[in-house]
Each structure stands twice: as C-alpha cells, then as structure tokens.
Chain A
C-alpha cells in the first residue's frame, strides 16, 4: 500500500531559527497535503499541493512539491512558540488518482524554545 516517509521525527529549535520537515514517497503522488496538530489537539489542514514543482507560501510557511511528485517539504522561517506541534504530510491512498483514504506520514514533532 501507499507509504509516506517523513523526517525528522523530532526537531528542537530556538525561537527565531528556521525549521524544515521532509516527506518522501516511493510512488508518484497525485497530490500531497499538510496538516498541523497542536499538543492535545486535532489535525488541522494547512494546504494541498497538486502540480509538479509547485511552491506555495502562507506567511512564514513555504510548501514545496517535488518535480517528480514524489517528495515534499514544509519550511518555517523564524519559528515562533505558536509553531509548536506535530506537522504531518498526507497522500491519497492507493497511488494514482485514488482519492478518499489519506495515508499520513509519521509526523515531525516541533519544539520551539523561547
């Protein structure tokens, strides 16, 4: 089945430092989504990337989708304590254009030290 590998598992940064998490798939993805889960909370949808090489920005967050549509990254510039949480990538299950079920990466737990 669809597998999405995400690294690193943990990241500790000082406030103001940058942060990046990476997501890799062995198969070509139709799209990739990113979610954030605050401690004790539930996952919240951040963005969806569809096109090869796509780059999208949300304030200090930059999302990229690889040219081969097999990898993606989320970069946060100048982290703040409000960025604390777990960041997940997610891809449609079954590969190809199969939607519905999403397979989530293991997540990157971000800790920001003030």
Chain B
C-alpha cells in the first residue's frame, strides 16, 4: 500500500521560473494538506484541499502561490516567479477524514532550491 507520493524529491529553479510540486495521497485518502518547512524550523500550514475544492488556504501567500486537487490526478502546488525566499522543504500530507485517530501521513517532501 503506497504511502503519500511526492515528486520531485529535489527541485532546482532559477529566480523567476515556475515550480510545480506534485502530491498523490494515500489510497482512500481524500484530504490533502501542504506544509512548508525552513531549515531547523517548524511546519507552516499552507493549504488544505479535498477533491476539486480548496477548504482552507489561510496559510498561502497571496501572490505567486496556488494549489489544486483535481478530480483526476495528483494535487499540485504551483509557485510562479520563484524567489530565493521560496527555498524550503514542501511537505504534502493526507488523511482519510477530518480528525481521524491516525493522524496525517506525510510524503517525503520536495526540497526546492532557488538559485
């Protein structure tokens, strides 16, 4: 039973380029969450999605960042016109329902480096 799959594991982008991060939740999980983590810092919530719906995007920067979770295919976190400050680890997590007793299952993350 595959866990949460994120790709790519490492992504290098030049300033001004676009970054696309993909996340396929665990089978049977319909809730997807994206978190950002800077080195030696905590996990900052970005966005919570269900299929075709954004439930909570209160942690998303107002500009350049967008997320989707289409009916078919993985969830995508898109960062347009990347800047050095976007360099971080981006983790996706999924859960089968809200507040279930098994917590989140996290993917291995995408380490984004902006040069």
A interface residue numbers (CB < 8 A to B): 1, 30-31, 33, 35, 41-48, 50, 88, 90, 92-93, 97, 99-107, 109
A109 touches B103 (CB 8 A): no
CB-CB under 8 A from A35, the residues of chain B are 103-104
User: Contact between B99 and A31 (Cβ–Cβ < 8 Å)?
Assistant: yes
Query: Which A residues are in CB contact (< 8 Å) with B102?
Result: 45, 48
Residues of B participating in the A interface, judged by any CB pair closer than 8 Å: 31, 33, 35, 40-45, 48, 55-56, 58, 91, 93, 98-99, 101-109
> B31, B48, B108: which contacts A42 (Cβ < 8 A)?
B108
Given A100-B55, A100-B56, A101-B33, A45:B45 Cβ within 8 A = no
A42 engages B106 (CB within 8 Å): yes
Which chain A residues border B109 with CB–CB below 8 Å? 42
Can you list 19 A-B pairs with a CB-CB distance of less than 8 A?
A33-B103, A42-B106, A42-B109, A43-B104, A44-B106, A45-B105, A48-B103, A88-B42, A90-B43, A93-B56, A97-B99, A99-B98, A99-B99, A100-B48, A101-B45, A102-B104, A103-B45, A104-B45, A107-B41
Q: Tell me which residues across on chain A come within 8 A of B45, comparing CB atoms.
A: 93, 101-104
Residue of B43, B48, B55 near A88 (CB, 8 A) is: B43
Known: A30-B99, A42-B109. A104 touches B42 (CB 8 A): yes
A103 to chain B, nearest CB (A): 7
Known: A42-B91, A92-B99. A106 touches B104 (CB 8 A): no
Q: Which residue of A has the minimal Cβ distance to B89?
A: A42
